[in-house]
Amino acid sequence: MKALYVTAVVTYSGKTAFALGIGLKLQEMGRKVGYLKPISTQPFMLGGKLVDEDAEFVGRTLGLELPIESLAPIILDEAKIDSVLSGAPAEDYLALVKAAYTKAAEGRDVLILEGGASMREGYLIGLNAMSIAQTLNLPTLGVVRFRSTLMLVDDALALKARMGDHLLGIVVNSVPDEQIEAVRGKVSAFLESKGVKVYGALPSDPRLMSISVAELINVLEAKKLTPEVGDDGLIETLSVGAMSVESATQHFRRLQRKAVITGGDRADIQAAALETSTTALVLTGNLQPSATILKHAESRGVAVLLVPYNTLEAIERVEKVFGKTRLAHPEKLARFRESLDVNLNWARLFADLGI
């Protein structure tokens, strides 16, 4: 049985997406794939159980039969964190991880393990990314999100310094179009000369960073006023309608597939948004729009969402979910898998894994 540990330096790097994408590729090749996320800091209630949201999605997508709680055996919620900080008798977290690893690996050709949200996670309970890789002797793939050329190089070299010989190499995610040639050329060559293999670089794709109307409704606890409009529309950008209608119109024309957040009493802004590429109107303050606006929105296929928050509160809530590659939307998952096939050197990665 082969294992691969997928980790990242910083949050929202696309780690879950890569773990899932690799798993699906291996299944496509006829391999039996398992999945495990040893430590989670993303508690999520599902059916009365505390689970990890990403682990639940990956397990479901890969068709795994293990109970959800087996896929993420240690979930650091507020109660557990407080218990540790208060000096309660420590659980044997390492034993829990080893037992979960053994169970997840049963009958599998490849087991994919997903690290925490960043390289910092796990120190509280003595199980950081490095200790897990060392204890279980895991070949590791680092996902590095492009922030700048300097940060990319430093992040990659920091991964190498921390993970040592356990690091197989890295993949670079979300590279702007104007930087992709340099990343694939001189930057990768430099990293390779320093002993860091680069298996590929994926260009930035706004569609993959988008959120669906359904996700927006959930985040904002919104009431949808356009029942004829579906919840699967994708939102790539946000815009706040707190300006003159003339300025707003010019601004809206530059943004595609957007959500416009504005007051329910700003009919002028709402009308301007509906004349451009808009997926959703978010109306704040529980202020109902006019019947004319609702009728126009439904005719344009634009979801109109009513929220109790003021504009600033709504923006803060939405910004927390933007920037994360969520692949629950079928179109996004298909798009990401296509990008992997084009931009990731599967042959080199699998050869290094011994697959």
Tens of pLDDT, residue by residue over 262-275, are 988 889 999 999 99
- What percent of the chain has pLDDT above 70? 97
Q: What's the mean pLDDT when you consider all of the chain?
A: 90
Residue 125 to residue 160: CA distance in whole angstroms: 23
Give the domain CATH number at 284: 3.40.1390.20
Same domain, 235 and 143: no
Give the domain CATH number at 113: 3.40.50.300
b/e string for 250-286 if b means 16 or more Cβ within 10 A? ebbeebebbbbbbbbebeebbbbbbebbbbbbbbbbe
- State the residue for tokens 């900080």: 85
Structural domain that includes position 155: 2-207+325-353
- pLDDT above 90 (res 312): no
pTM: 0.80
- pLDDT above 70 (res 314): yes
When pLDDT is averaged across residues 187-202 and rounded to a whole number, the result is 98
Residue 155 confidence (pLDDT): 96
Q: Structurally, how many domains does the chain consist of?
A: 2
Same domain, 286 and 163: no
Same domain, 173 and 264: no
Same domain, 84 and 130: yes
Residue 248 confidence (pLDDT): 77
Same domain, 216 and 137: no
State the pLDDT confidence band at 311, using cuts at 50, 70 and 90.
confident
Same domain, 42 and 191: yes
Same domain, 38 and 75: yes
Average the pLDDT over each of 109-118, 181-190, 285-294, 311-320 and give the range with the smallest value. Answer: 311-320
Same domain, 136 and 175: yes
Residue 242 confidence (pLDDT): 66
Tens of pLDDT, residue by residue over 272-296, are 999 999 999 999 988 899 999 999 9
Same domain, 15 and 124: yes
Residue 323 confidence (pLDDT): 56
When pLDDT is averaged across residues 173-177 and rounded to a whole number, the result is 95
Tens of pLDDT, residue by residue over 121-167, are 889 998 889 999 999 999 999 999 999 999 999 999 999 999 999 99
Same domain, 27 and 136: yes
- pLDDT above 60 (res 325): no
Residue 326 confidence (pLDDT): 63
Same domain, 126 and 260: no
DSSP 37-94: -SEES-EEEETTEEEEHHHHHHHHHHT--S-HHHHS-EE--HHHHHHHHTTPPPP-HH
Same domain, 58 and 194: yes
State the pLDDT confidence band at 239, using cuts at 50, 70 and 90.
confident
Residue 317 confidence (pLDDT): 84
Residue 324 confidence (pLDDT): 59
Residue 273 · residue 295 · CB < 8 Å: no
Reduce the DSSP state of residue 122 to 3 states and report it.
Answer: coil
